[in-house]
Chains A and B, each alone.
Chain A
């Protein structure tokens, strides 16, 4: 296995791109990443996408996007793991390059959520849940997150507003990010009073589905050194799975896949948990962030919410534990299959000192974690600059 690095990044704004199709968004991000890396030759294109078939009636995105982006002939296909598609595609690119079989890979994450509207979008998105045991009964991802949150509040005897710091922090950072979907601030006290999406998950809690595309160029660290001045090395990469449906979990309030993939990635990187400077976590719901922090080992069981105390002060760009530095899923938005690649792009910008107003000072190591479903899939990567 050889070392692997990221040499170029690109992304479109996250939001409602009414005038852009799936392929146009993907090509836009891809071109930005190729320009950033200043290369034209690629050996493979991996597409991260979750719901192209159900949102846009379009699958077979590898050849589609390769052709549209002028890369026809290249090896290209889609990697899908629901909301964790981006992380899974990044891991696939890492494995392909590390193995020596492929020299340079472009990974483009793309989602066009607005191709489906209202009830049709809910149905289209539900294909990521268990069709026979969850969606058929009317379950949705927010509804299942609400079950988790309600149980957590009961078991650990906490009120709804203890989670507010996660959303306040995400929107404070997203407000500085021109690519973020919702740049408004969330005031302390408003989280628990916001209209309910699936009680107790409120409008100020659940991340908004969105359109967007992000791309990265991955190559061998040896080649990377010749291409750019500050390549970002992938020092840890791991994916893991948990029981698919929530009802099968022995412990409802723990994410086994998160624990496993975090431990493996940290071990591979040869780091300790506290050596990480920047975190991009899968903050689709505050309860997911909370349980993930506990499963990763950053908080004791039932204590994850404490990291968000004082309106998320510790999570801020200059805090002890910077999370969602560009707004996270909550404020930047959740272009589902592309989200894991947005996380990678944002981490690279942090590590290269290119994060502008969102910069965390002296960021040397970043952890990005992308989850599918309610952590039925967890993909964790550790990135570093020398």
Chain B
């Protein structure tokens, strides 16, 4: 890791590896079922309350974080065109790993044809488990310990029936195959992480649903970490909002990322392609990661992207990316994020209960 002295007092915290790292392949996966917010309102408030989003994506009966991670990983592999045996790490970030003990990552690795000579682990940091795995991948590849890694953020998020989170807690995510910059369709210019002990949202062992701190999840949690990480990275990179073509934020709803973007000086045009929460909900660890795949789907060589994750508990990872000519080669090798969003079957609340296992004996 080299230290970048930009004159900023926090300049030494900029993360830049010894050799440049980029995204060699990327892939999204969003399940086909959609639960409209009006359905949740119909059941719990006699239809009187508004919904923070139009609808959310719901995993089917035979889907979980493992199967969806495999789908996204296959898309990322297809775009990269590399032999899966060359992958040196498979890391899956999620807060809905199917097993409490037994890695998701080994199932994913073997399913996509990775070798046994790899690092494999499951990551947990609420909604930023996936981007934390990306930071680790940049470190592993940037140091020369391996050529390619696979970092996945995927969730089948839990919302207690009747809770405010039930409108938004959704299923989906994305996989990023990272590798050397000269093979990449987007190259990391620098990254940064900002974490504190902020208990805004949690789920204890053995509990089915998370608890959250109501309005505490806003200003001291999401906004403090998102804004701090974004501003610090831009200060260290010597950039401002207008230097980026696009910005992608963690999106628990539409309002939070829109407001964070506005406060940082980004326009509606800069965030529009990566802001999907209104039509797929909050896919937790996959949230800003599918925002990034959707943005890469429309990006051109030379475009610069700022990506900020947020995970409760709490922290944000911030990434500065520049898109390369390779984007035109890889883009059409796998289904695009909007293809998945367009593949849509609406379900009612009862079906949702059945698919998500809400009915108990």
By a CB distance below 8 angstroms, the chain B residues around A16 are 215, 219
Closest-CB distance, B55 to chain A (whole angstroms): 21
Contact digits for B203-244, partner A, Cβ 8 Å, 1 yes 0 no: 000000000011110011000000000000000000000000
Closest-CB distance, A345 to chain B (whole angstroms): 25
Contact digits for A14-57, partner B, Cβ 8 Å, 1 yes 0 no: 00101100000000000000000000000000000000000000
Number of interface residues of B (CB under 8 A): 7
Closest-CB distance, B51 to chain A (whole angstroms): 13
Closest-CB distance, A185 to chain B (whole angstroms): 19
- Taking chain A's interface residues, is the majority helix, strand, or loop, or is none over half, making it mixed? loop
**Among B50, B215, B220, which residue has its beta carbon within 8 angstroms of that of A117?**
B215
Would B213 and A117 count as touching, CB distance under 8 A?
Answer: yes
Interface contacts (Cβ under 8 Å), in number, total 14
By a CB distance below 8 angstroms, the chain B residues around A195 are 50
| A118 lies within 8 A of chain B by Cβ | yes
By a CB distance below 8 angstroms, the chain B residues around A18 are 216, 219-220
| A114 lies within 8 A of chain B by Cβ | yes
Q: In whole angstroms, what is the CA distance A18 to B215 when docked?
A: 10
Closest-CB distance, A24 to chain B (whole angstroms): 15
Give the interface size bracket for A toward B: under 10
Q: What residue of chain A has the Cβ atom nearest to residue B198's Cβ?
A: A18
Q: What residue of chain A has the Cβ atom nearest to residue B221's Cβ?
A: A18
Q: Which residues of B, 172-212, contact A by the 8 Å Cβ criterion?
A: none
Closest-CB distance, A270 to chain B (whole angstroms): 47
By a CB distance below 8 angstroms, the chain B residues around A118 are 214
Closest-CB distance, B159 to chain A (whole angstroms): 15
Q: What residue of chain A has the Cβ atom nearest to residue B218's Cβ?
A: A16
By a CB distance below 8 angstroms, the chain A residues around B220 are 18-19
Closest-CB distance, A65 to chain B (whole angstroms): 24
By a CB distance below 8 angstroms, the chain A residues around B219 are 16, 18
Closest-CB distance, B128 to chain A (whole angstroms): 20
Closest-CB distance, B41 to chain A (whole angstroms): 13
Q: Which residues of A, 81-140, contact B by the 8 Å Cβ criterion?
A: 114, 117-118
Q: In whole angstroms, what is the CA distance A304 to B6 when docked?
A: 63
Q: Which residues of A, 167-201, contact B by the 8 Å Cβ criterion?
A: 195
Q: In whole angstroms, what is the CA distance A117 to B50 when docked?
A: 21
Closest-CB distance, A76 to chain B (whole angstroms): 30
By a CB distance below 8 angstroms, the chain A residues around B214 are 117-118
Q: In whole angstroms, what is the CA distance A118 to B201 when docked?
A: 14
Q: In whole angstroms, what is the CA distance A195 to B49 when docked?
A: 9
Binding site for A on B (CB under 8 A): 50, 213-216, 219-220
Besides A18-B219, A114-B216, A117-B214, 11 more A-B contacts (Cβ < 8 Å) are A16-B215, A16-B219, A18-B216, A18-B220, A19-B220, A114-B215, A117-B213, A117-B215, A117-B216, A118-B214, A195-B50
Task: List 14 A-B residue pairs with CB atoms under 8 Å apart, sorted by A's residue number.
Answer: A16-B215, A16-B219, A18-B216, A18-B219, A18-B220, A19-B220, A114-B215, A114-B216, A117-B213, A117-B214, A117-B215, A117-B216, A118-B214, A195-B50
Q: What are the 4 closest A-B residue pairs judged by CB atoms, nearest first?
A: A117-B214, A18-B220, A118-B214, A117-B213
